Amino acid sequence: MTTSKLPNAAAKSHYETSYAKVPWTFSEDGALRSGDQVMLKNKKTDGWLVFNTADRVQGTVDECYMLTTTNDAPGPVKRSVFQISKAEDADIFGSDNIIRYGQKIKICSNPYAFKKPLFVSSFPKSQSVYSPITRLQEASAHSKDTYLGTWIIDSLDPNDRLER
């Protein structure tokens, strides 16, 4: 007789693992730095960015998992904390580790979330690529770091300029 986990037990185990608390960054001076681990919130949808390593995107060559947002603040857990890092070692802002408006960054999973880094990417919306829920541009986490996973820090306030 073989023993295996029942589907419900496996789902419960995955759920408990996904919601395990992880450390995140607190900055005394309020500056965002390369290597910080943060939670990301979409101002337009008022949702927190999260991923689920059980929701693998089918038909992709590399490992790829869907991202979504939740209106319920999950807190700093494995599925909601992301690591921010500069995409370029040196740019027009210099080579320090502070991230500023206008800089290119990479967003990846925290080191506790998965066995390897997963990079947040987004592909342009098309007939075959779109968010399954909103039908808008999709976002996903990939095991390969590509240029589609490069983001630019921008301000919602058009009065905030790059020079500041």
Predicted confidence (pLDDT) per residue in 8-17, tens digit: 665 666 566 7
Neighbouring CB atoms inside 10 A of 68's CB total 19
The tokens describing 124, both together, are: 């342009």
The tokens describing 7, both together, are: 């589907």
Q: What 3-state DSSP class applies to 9?
A: helix
90 or 12, which is more confident: 90
Report the CATH architecture of 26-152: Trefoil (2.80)
At residue 5 the predicted structure's pLDDT band, cuts being 50, 70 and 90, is low
Q: Check: CB of residue 86 under 8 Å from CB of residue 149.
A: no
- Judge residue 100's burial from the number of C-beta atoms within 10 Å of its C-beta, 0-12 exposed, 13-18 middle, 19 or more buried: middle
Domain boundaries, the chain: 26-152
Strand ranges, E, within 1-134: 37-38, 41-42, 47-56, 64-70, 82-86, 104-109, 119-122
* Predicted TM-score of the model (pTM): 0.79
pLDDT, residue 24, reads: 92
Residue-by-residue DSSP string for 60-83? -SS-EEEEEEESS---SBTTT-EE
pLDDT tens readout for residues 42-79: 887 888 999 877 777 776 667 888 888 888 888 899 99
Instruction: Write out the H or E segment, with its range, that includes residue 141.
Output: strand 139-142
Q: What is the CA radius of gyration of the chain?
A: 17
